[in-house]
Amino acid sequence: MSSAADFLTRLAGHLEAGDATAAAGLFHDESHWRDLLPLTWSIATFDGPAEIAAMLAAGLPAARPRGFALEEGSEKTVDGITEAWFRFETEAAQCRGQFRLKENRAWTLMTAALSLKAYPERIGTRREPGVEHGAFPGRPGWALQRRQRHAALGDSVQPYCLIIGGGQNGLSLAARLAMLDVPTLVVDRHARPGDAWRQRYDSLYLHDTVWANHLPYLPFPPGFPTFIPKDRMGDWLDSYARIMDLDIWNAATAEGAEHDPSRGEWRVQVTREGREVTLRPKQLVIATGLSGAPATPRYPGAESFRGTQMHSSQYRSGAAWRGKRCVVVGSNNSAHDICADLWEQGAEVTMVQRSSTLVIRAESSYRFLSSKLYSEEAVAAGISTEQADFIAASRPYAMLPPMHRAIYAEIRAHDAAFYAALEKVGFMLDFGEDESGHSLKYLRRGSGYYIDVGASQLIIDGAVKLRSNTRPARILPEAVELEDGTILPADLIVYATGFEAMETWVEQLVSPEAARRLGPLWGLGSGTRRDPGPWAGELRNMWKPTRQEGLWIQGGNLAQARFYSRLLAIQIKARMEGIPTPVHDPRALEAVPA
C-alpha cells in the first residue's frame, strides 16, 4: 500500500468512527486543514492538531464523512512531500480533498464540497430537456415563457436570492444558482452587464492572462486574446448573461435594505424604470466589487484649481490632454496605466509616488507565478482550469508567504537590471512587508501594486517624470505644490488614490450598524500595514456566513469569482431546501446563524 493510500485509510477510519482526537494525531504540529464547507459549513482554516481536533469534534457528528477513495493516478512525491487527491461524501454533499504528507504525517489537508447530493447542478445528463415532446393546445413557446418569467420575478414571484451587482461576481454566482434552480434576481445600476468594464479608462486590458479568467460553465474561445481588452470583456459579460439566461434588472438601483428576522427575509428598496419596487428575498448578496467608493484626498486649495481634477475611476482617455500638463497622484496599477495612456496621447506627465510600490513585470508574473497553473503549458500537462483552481485552493493562506518569498527571490534575481533601473530614477520599490510579493499584497487590505505592461520603462526613460517620497501639500490655481517644495504646473490632476474599504457598500445599502456587526471585509488579518490582526486564516467574510443573517459577500478577481461562486451557491441552495447547515468558524468573533 502506498503512503498516500495508507494515510487516507487511517484518516478515514478515524473520521468514520467519529474519533476527532485520533484523526488530529495524524497531523504535524505545524499543519493546516482548510475546510470549504464539508465539515464546517463555512470557509475556514484550522492550524495544528488542537484546532483540527476541535473542528472535527464539532463537525463530525452532523457531517458523517465516509466513502473515502484516492483519485487514481493523483499521488506524487516531490522533494520528500507526498500529495494526493481523494473523493468522499458527507450527509449532505459530494466532496473532494487533497493532502500533503511529510514523513507520513499530514502537513496540509483541504476538503471542499462539490455538490449537494440531493440537489446536483442541472448540467450534463441532468440538463433541462428544453421541451416536452408532444402536442399541447395553447402551449406557449420558450420566448414567451421567458418573458413571462422575467415579468413575474420581483412582482408576483419574489426571488429567493437577490444579488446586488452585475459584474463578473454577480453573474458567476447567478449562473451557479440558476443551475441549482434557485430563483435569483440580479440588480445592477449599469445599463448593460459589461458596462462596469466599459466605463473604465480606454487603455485598460486585463493584467491576468485569459487562462485564469474563464467564467463558470462557459470558457473563453481558444482564440481569445491572452490579455483581454476591457471593452471586449464587457461584450463577453453581456453575452454571458444572455447565454446563461440570467434574470437581471439593469439600470436599477438598490436604495436600501432592511432585514426582518421574524420573517427571515429582507426588504430591499429598488428604483427601476422610475418607480420604487420592494423586493423580499430570503438571501441578499452584495457583489458590487472588491472595493468601496473612490477614495479622493482633500488637499488644501483644491477648490481654487482652474484645471480639471478627477479620481482615476472617472478617467477615460488622454485624447483631450495632448500638449497639456498632467499630474497623476498615486503609483498603483491605475496610476501607471493612466500615465502611459496620457503619454501616448502626447501629454506631459508626472507621477507623484507617495509611498513605495511593488512592481512585477507581466512576463515575470506569468513565468514564475500564473503559468504553472493557468497557461497552455498547464493545459497540455493535464491541468484543467478546474484542477488549477483546486490546486490553488489546496494551499492554506498561512503557507503562502514562505512560498512566495522564494518565488520573489527568483524574480528579483531574474529582473535585477529592471529593478536597478527603476531605483536609479528614484522609484521606491517594495516587495511586501514580508518580501512575499504582489499576490499576497492583493489579499491584504489597502495594498497597491503594479503589474508592469510598459509604464515602468517610460519612467526609467524619463518620458513620464517622477516625483517620489513626497506627496501633495496643497493645490494651487494652476499647479500642485508638493511637501518637498516642488511646484508641478498642471492642467489635469488625476487622483489614482484607490478606493474605500468594501464595508462602505454594507454601510450604504444596509446600515453602519450592520457593517460594524460584520467587521472587516477582505484581508487576512496578516498584521501588515492596513491589514491589522488578529489572523483570520481566510479572507474575512467572503463567500461564507456573516454575522448578519441572510447577508453574503461575493467579490474578488475573475478566478475567485469562478471558484468561490460554487461554494456560495451551495450554501444558499442548502438553506433554500432546509438542509441543516451548522456553522463552525472559531475565528469569528461570535456565532453566525445556521
Tens digits of residue pLDDT in 133-174? 999 999 999 999 999 999 999 889 999 999 999 999 999 999
Does 383 have pLDDT greater than 70?
A: yes
How many CA atoms does the CB half-sphere of 157 hold within 13 Å?
Answer: 14
- pLDDT band of residue 357 (cuts 50, 70, 90) is very high
Does 485 have pLDDT greater than 80?
A: yes
Strand pairing report for 479-482 and 472-476: antiparallel
Cell triple for 206 = 486585463
Domains of the chain: 3-116 (3.10.450.50), 146-292+503-576 (3.50.50.60), 302-495 (3.50.50.60)
Within a 10 A sphere around the Cβ of 416, how many other Cβ atoms?
Answer: 10
**DSSP assigned state of 302:** G
Please give the average per-residue pLDDT across 367-376, as a whole number. 92
Lowest mean pLDDT among 123-132, 299-308, 342-351: 123-132
Does 317 have pLDDT greater than 80?
A: yes
Alpha carbons 30 and 49: distance in angstroms, whole number? 8
- pLDDT band of residue 249 (cuts 50, 70, 90) is very high
Q: Are 438 and 451 in contact (CB under 8 A)?
A: yes
> What pLDDT, on the 0 to 100 scale, is given for residue 594?
52
Lowest mean pLDDT among 80-94, 208-222, 282-296, 467-481: 282-296
Lowest mean pLDDT among 217-221, 448-452, 537-541: 448-452
Query: Angle, nearest 10°, between helix axes 400-414 and 416-424?
Result: 80
Q: Are 264 and 282 in contact (CB under 8 A)?
A: yes
> What pLDDT, on the 0 to 100 scale, is given for residue 571?
98
> What pLDDT, on the 0 to 100 scale, is given for residue 593?
53
Secondary structure class of 210 (helix, strand, coil): helix
Please give the average per-residue pLDDT across 48-59, as a whole number. 98
Amino acid at 365: S
Q: Which residue has the higher pLDDT, 401 or 300?
A: 300
Does 589 have pLDDT greater than 60?
A: no
Alpha carbons 390 and 112: distance in angstroms, whole number? 9
Torsional sign, CA 177, 293, 210, 399: negative
Cell triple for 526 = 496578516
Does 192 have pLDDT greater than 80?
A: yes
Within a 10 A sphere around the Cβ of 420, how many other Cβ atoms?
Answer: 11
Please give the average per-residue pLDDT across 293-315, as a whole number. 95
Peptide bond preceding 221: is omega within 30 degrees of 0, i.e. cis? no
Encode pLDDT of 513-561 as tens digits.
999 999 999 999 888 877 888 999 999 999 999 999 999 999 999 999 9
Query: Of 204, 234, 190, 291, which is closest to residue 557 (Cα–Cα)?
Result: 291
For the chain, the average pLDDT equals: 94
Following DSSP, what letter does each residue of 542-557 receive, concatenated? SSS--SSTTEEE--S-
> What pLDDT, on the 0 to 100 scale, is given for residue 437?
79
> What pLDDT, on the 0 to 100 scale, is given for residue 438?
66
Radius of gyration of the chain (CA): 25
Alpha carbons 92 and 580: distance in angstroms, whole number? 9
Report the share of the chain in percent with pLDDT over 90.
Answer: 88
Which pTM does this prediction carry? 0.95
Alpha carbons 179 and 374: distance in angstroms, whole number? 25
Report the share of the chain in percent with pLDDT over 70.
Answer: 97
> What pLDDT, on the 0 to 100 scale, is given for residue 291?
76
Torsional sign, CA 501, 503, 507, 512: negative
Within a 10 A sphere around the Cβ of 76, how many other Cβ atoms?
Answer: 10
Please give the average per-residue pLDDT across 117-131, as a whole number. 94
> What pLDDT, on the 0 to 100 scale, is given for residue 439?
67
> What pLDDT, on the 0 to 100 scale, is given for residue 445?
64
Does 239 have pLDDT greater than 90?
A: yes
Which value, to the nearest 10 degrees, does the dihedral of the CA atoms of residues 425, 342, 317, 333 take?
A: -10
Please give the average per-residue pLDDT across 52-73, as a whole number. 98
Does 466 have pLDDT greater than 70?
A: yes
Torsional sign, CA 299, 301, 304, 306: negative
> What pLDDT, on the 0 to 100 scale, is given for residue 207?
86
Please give the average per-residue pLDDT across 485-502, as a whole number. 94
Cell triple for 397 = 493562506
Within a 10 A sphere around the Cβ of 587, how many other Cβ atoms?
Answer: 16
533: left (phi over 0), alpha (psi -120 to 50) or beta: beta
Cell triple for 102 = 511529510
Alpha carbons 504 and 512: distance in angstroms, whole number? 8
Alpha carbons 578 and 168: distance in angstroms, whole number? 28
Does 473 have pLDDT greater than 80?
A: yes
> What pLDDT, on the 0 to 100 scale, is given for residue 592?
55
Please give the average per-residue pLDDT across 88-102, as a whole number. 98
Secondary structure class of 568 (helix, strand, coil): helix
Strands (E), 273-318: 275-279, 283-286, 308-311
Alpha carbons 494 and 329: distance in angstroms, whole number? 6
Alpha carbons 147 and 141: distance in angstroms, whole number? 10
Strands (E), 103-187: 105-116, 161-164, 184-187
